[in-house]
Amino acid sequence: MNRHELSTEHADLRAAVEEFARTEVAPVIGDFYERGAFPYDIVAKMGRMGLFGLPFPEEHGGMGGDYFALCLALEELARVDSSVAITLEAGVSLGAMPLYRFGSDDQRKTYLPRLCSGEALGAFGLTEPGGGSDAGGTRTTARLEGGEWVINGTKSFITNSGTDITSLVTVTAVTGRREDGRPEISAILVPAGTPGFSIGQHYSKVGWNASDTNELVFEDCRVPEANLVGERGRGYAQFLRILDEGRIAIAALSVGLAQGCVDESVRYAHERSAFGHTIGEYQAIQFKIAEMEARAHTARLAYYDAASRMLAGEPFKKEAAIAKLIASNAAMDNARDATQVFGGYGFMNEFPVGRFYRDAKILEIGEGTSEVQKMLIARELGLPA
């Protein structure tokens, strides 16, 4: 991939998802959003398009594409709605990718085909009620007993964890102590419906209202020892790799929201009149929209660069953090400005920019806060940890 140009395959994919978002998602998603309902039909259509299998090999039921293809799809979906986009992002990056990167052959064979087809969703149980950004402070425990892991603990803010098609959650848990006394953290696969595994509260959220987010509770939940994902004690390192990749995906989603704000503002500037002129004729509005476009464009280049480095096998941790930081800021700033362009109508849920405004803030928090991104960038520059 050239860092600034799309291949024919990527361009065709982007165009196909753009049309899907415009014709299939945009006309109906507002109703799902207002009802807080999960859009099963839209997810099924995305599955049939192959979107959940984009970065996975055909041998696992995937499309044989790459991670950048996923990012392009996320950007186009988020131009219309972020709930649908985050459902895809979490299903691929957090649900299926840990199994693909670190799972056993049996785990891949059992779960990946249905995850790639969109018939099933996976989730990643990392965050805990008292943890937040301190993922190393995991309190959920798993002990071996009679060839089984016995899991106890609670996970918070877990996307795709409580839908009717959720098939598994991969959880991080303390499985022992290292020689230096630090916790040994491992990743363990828990199938949906396992006794002792229950869905806790379904959150009432500010945004992403058409996506699924729940608390997970484990009470003496038993799964086979073979459900360990990757090496014992490597769960923390594994999730860091998954989050590095996920930050590029969230940056792409953020760019989509930022660009969607531009799209809606340009359209409205042509339609809305005030004091005898369309508002687009006023320089104050023109300059505001121009700044919005500059933010979206700059953020897009940042995630393109991070994705190209990742696909080339080059170090990309710093670039992923930069992309996530810049893009989430752009999304938040553009959502605020788009709401201002729309005036009172921007505060109404019937207009997409109202939804964009509600959805934007979480992008500065999820998969690593803006403060965490700055910390990562500083470390990559060699500043003291």
Rg, the chain, Cα only: 21
Closest CA to 169 of 151, 143, 144, 188: 188
Two structure tokens written together for 305: 């660069």
Q: Which residues are bridge partners to 125 per DSSP?
A: 171
Rounded Cα distance between 153 and 165, Å, is 23
First-residue to last-residue Cα distance in the chain: 34
Two structure tokens written together for 164: 């009717």
Closest CA to 257 of 333, 158, 319, 205: 333
Burial 153-162 (b: 16+ CB within 10 A, else e): bbbbbbbbbb
Amino acid letter, 106: D
Two structure tokens written together for 5: 């140009």
> Which residues are known to be catalytic?
367
**Cβ(315)–Cβ(306) under 8 Å?**
no
The total of other beta-carbon atoms located within 10 Å of residue 345's CB is: 14
Two structure tokens written together for 299: 């953020």
Two structure tokens written together for 183: 């916790």
Two structure tokens written together for 71: 């990012």
Rounded Cα distance between 56 and 67, Å, is 9
Scanning the chain, the segments in alpha helix (DSSP H) are 8-20, 29-35, 40-49, 67-78, 82-89, 97-102, 105-117, 235-271, 283-311, 317-342, 352-360, 370-380
Closest CA to 216 of 168, 274, 268: 168
